[in-house]
Amino acid sequence: IELRRSKMPVNVSGIKEMKKALGQVDKDLLKDVQAQIRVAMLPIRDKARGYAPQDSEVLSGWTKAAGITGPMKYRTFPKYNHAQVVEGIKYSAGRNKRNKGGWSASNYVSNNSAPGAIFETAGRKSGINGAPWIGRDVSNTDKTISHSNNPRAGAQFIAAAGPLVNARPQGMVGNNRGYKQYGRLIFRAAAEEQGKAMSHILKALDQTAATFVKRTEIRKAVNG
């Protein structure tokens, strides 16, 4: 199970193995499991969509974003559009592409729009002061450097976006890149809903396992 824009994993051990086994021997039960996982994950998607600010709630300049002119040439900063951000927050039951570490996931909520990703993660790596500033007219394509006319643009943008929320389950161990577990849309929704979601999924898996055992016993009895 995964909730992602920056591929944030929230894992329940055994789901992948059970789905694979059911796909081989009992496709009806597999469909039931997929349906139950969907029921558990949609509230996270819907709550994340609800956290997307209206156009009037973000910095006014962001809804009128324009390309940067001058010696630098890079992609236009994406204009914020509430409808686009909401539409870009999706649930998928399919498996996504493997990342650089070789990992992939299925049954995930993702943030697929550029402005949605920016709102989700702004300040997550750079901190509340934003990226270091060198000015607009310096020919430098380093994306970790701010090229805005306003030296405080990054800090103002991050402050206006509001606080980041940690979606990492309490007590979870892992690498030291914990900043990737913070966000304002999916990550915030996951922090609030993942306990309910995991409880629902685990209950569904227990029921599926019990049903599978009963069906197997019946098949054995019928087939002698």
Sign of the dihedral through C-alpha 84, 87, 92, 94: negative
* pLDDT band of 203, cuts 50, 70, 90: confident
What would the two tokens of residue 26 be?
Answer: 């009992």
What would the two tokens of residue 25 be?
Answer: 């021997």
SS3 4: strand
SS3 119: helix
Determine if the pTM surpasses 0.75: no
**Arithmetic mean of pLDDT, 117-129:** 90
Q: Which residues pair with 111 in a beta bridge?
A: 89
Going from the C-alpha of 42 to that of each of 36, 108, 193, 196, the distances in angstroms are 10, 10, 10, 12
φ and ψ at residue 189, rounded to 5 degrees? -65, -40
Which helix (H) or strand (E) is 109 found in, with range? Answer: strand 108-111
What would the two tokens of residue 194 be?
Answer: 């993942």
Full strand arrangement of the beta sheet holding 89-92: 2-4, 108-111, 89-92
Residue 188 has pLDDT above 80, yes or no: yes
φ and ψ at residue 125, rounded to 5 degrees? -100, -40
Q: What is the pLDDT of residue 3?
A: 45
**Arithmetic mean of pLDDT, 130-152:** 70
Q: Distance (Å, rounded) from C-alpha 181 to C-alpha 10?
A: 10
Residue 5 has pLDDT above 90, yes or no: no
Q: What is the pLDDT of residue 206?
A: 79
189 within 8 A of 51, measured Cβ to Cβ: yes
Domain that holds residue 109: 2-223
Number of domains in the chain: 1
**Arithmetic mean of pLDDT, 140-160:** 79
Residue 20 has pLDDT above 70, yes or no: no
- As a whole number of angstroms, the longest Cα–Cα distance in the chain is 81
Q: Distance (Å, rounded) from C-alpha 90 to C-alpha 186?
A: 10
Sign of the dihedral through C-alpha 204, 34, 94, 188: negative
Mean pLDDT (the chain, rounded): 76
